[in-house]
Amino acid sequence: MSLIRRDLALRVVERYFGREAATQTAYQMEYQGQGWLDPRSNAVYAQARRSTDAHPLCPVCEMDVDRATAPKLVYKAETYYFCTPDHRARFAAAPQRYLGA
């Protein structure tokens, strides 16, 4: 598990069960990071990433995709790239769900 995910997980524990429970959880995990103590430490992840031609993202999960090998679909004259064929199928079934329409 990455440090960022640990910090986010500990923030969730703190939110639902309190700081003492989160502190004990960190101790039991032998985790020495302190990022979870500062709510602003993960602020960069509050911003949604945007897909661009140079850096496409899967519209279903927002993972990075490789245009050369990724499954793709044209919808309303826009080309979308997907990380898996399953995500392409999900998008095709309900594109408005993933486009915020």
Give 37-96 pLDDT, tens digit per residue: 876 766 766 677 889 989 999 999 989 999 999 999 999 999 999 999 999 999 999 999
Cα-only R_g, the chain: 18
1 has pLDDT over 60: no
The reported pLDDT for the residue numbered 47 is: 74
Beta-carbon-side half-sphere exposure of residue 53 (alpha carbons within 13 Å)? 1
Sequence-distant (≥ 6) Cβ neighbours of residue 59 within 8 angstroms: 51, 80, 82, 91, 98, 99
**pTM, whole model, 2 decimals?**
0.57
The domain locations on the chain are: 3-46, 49-101
The reported pLDDT for the residue numbered 42 is: 63
| Range 7-36 average pLDDT | 89
